[in-house]
Chains A and B, each alone.
Chain A
């Protein structure tokens, strides 16, 4: 592969292009009126201070399932190429049980 087409260089070139667009657009757009009201975070016209939002569902539980399965899928994708695919089936069985336990274990009474 031509070294100009390696991922790092390509990402660098595209970052430079995005920066160029950003800079040109900045030169073309009008100056911001620095009034207090304009620089406040949008809150439907109310003066509400910013703060942390409380969630009604458990993000940690969902994130934990994500981590387990994400790692497992990468392992699974590699198994058939390196050893016997039967091992992949056994691993998949274990993974299915884990997913079942995590999904049903996270249920609440309501």
Chain B
């Protein structure tokens, strides 16, 4: 009974729904505030993200006559459920992660693909011209950036010889020097590809407000739009946390926890993971502010001319290192 209650607490409260929602709002605020300060603006107050979410949830919610109403309603719900599920399978506890299983890395990667597919279908089924152009750009961007993202995320798995996220974190704590040297390229590719996956500047041509008035979500309003916005916020946190787990040691804080109380060790590990996630988010924010939007054909070229060949090269180096070891 205690086990079931604890599992429910894990899903609903910490690190489940309540915690993820709060973290997504805080990270969104940090992202907006830092962007604003870098552009010499004041930026939003702390409660702005939650105020925006509540306002959108309670606004008039219109389904256009020609849109597929079932898909219109189902897609934001599926997208939100997928990103929340992806997030909960990250290893938050360094002593014994309760959600860990042998191929959880693969599971998280595929769950993080679902929001992009939801966005594509949202635009495609909306019967809106802007939405259709935006959804075609979304799917083009998905197939351009998904591969380098996958290859970059698999690099630590190949080195560690496991597809388990907890296993990779454990390997890093024993071979930290190794993951710094050949995996730096994978880290950089992962950051750029994540920016592409999230459709943030300079890869935001699918929603480009000045051309496509929001792209796939042009006809969305009210609660459906609010859920999509929430989905993107959680996806950013989950993607950043995944990179922190795979490349920055996750919850490992590089101190011997042998004689430490498990609660203190887990608490410190959790704080370390949050700080590393914040670090990744700040890199994404700086890229967003510093680089102007690329055209969609430039986006595709950047992926196939540079990111994919570079990701294959780093894979070649990693396998050679693995052979040498």
Contacts and interface: CB of A to CB of B under 8 A. Distances in A.
A15 B77 contact: yes
B316 A92 contact: yes
Contacts of A33: 60
A85 to B, nearest CB: 5
Question: What is the interface residue range for chain B against chain A?
Answer: 35 or more
Contacts of A99: 304, 308-309, 312
B7 A19 contact: no
Interface in B128-146: 128-133, 136, 139-140, 143-144, 146
B253 interface: no
B311 to A, nearest CB: 9
Contacts of B283: none
A28 B61 contact: no
B85 A63 contact: no
Question: What is the interface residue range for chain A against chain B?
Answer: 35 or more
B101 A22 contact: no
A89 to B, nearest CB: 6
Given A53-B129, A92-B319, A42 B213 contact: yes
A29 B66 contact: no
Nearest to A99: B308
Contacts of B198: none
Contact of A29 (B63, B157, B222, B305): B222
B143 A63 contact: yes
Interface string A25-45: 110111111000011111110
A5 B10 contact: yes
Nearest to B309: A99
B256 interface: no
B57 A21 contact: yes
Interface in B1-59: 3-4, 6-8, 10-12, 17, 57-59
Q: Which of A25, A39, A103 has the most CB of B within 10 A?
A: A25
| Interface class of chain B by DSSP | helix
Nearest to A26: B223
Interface stretch (B147-155, B168-176, B236-244): B147-155
Given A28-B58, A50-B129, A42 B309 contact: no
B60 A32 contact: yes
B304 A103 contact: yes
A36 to B, nearest CB: 8
Interface in B170-219: 213, 218-219
21 contacts: A1-B101, A10-B11, A17-B12, A18-B81, A19-B77, A21-B227, A22-B73, A25-B222, A29-B57, A50-B127, A50-B132, A55-B136, A59-B136, A62-B144, A62-B304, A63-B143, A69-B308, A77-B154, A77-B163, A85-B319, A88-B319
Given A48-B129, A99-B308, 10 more contacts: A14-B17, A15-B78, A17-B81, A25-B57, A41-B128, A44-B213, A50-B66, A89-B323, A96-B312, A103-B308
Interface of A: 1-2, 4-5, 7, 10-11, 13-15, 17-19, 21-22, 25-26, 28-33, 38-44, 48, 50-53, 55-57, 59, 62-63, 65-66, 69-70, 73, 76-77, 80-81, 85-86, 88-89, 92, 95-96, 99, 103
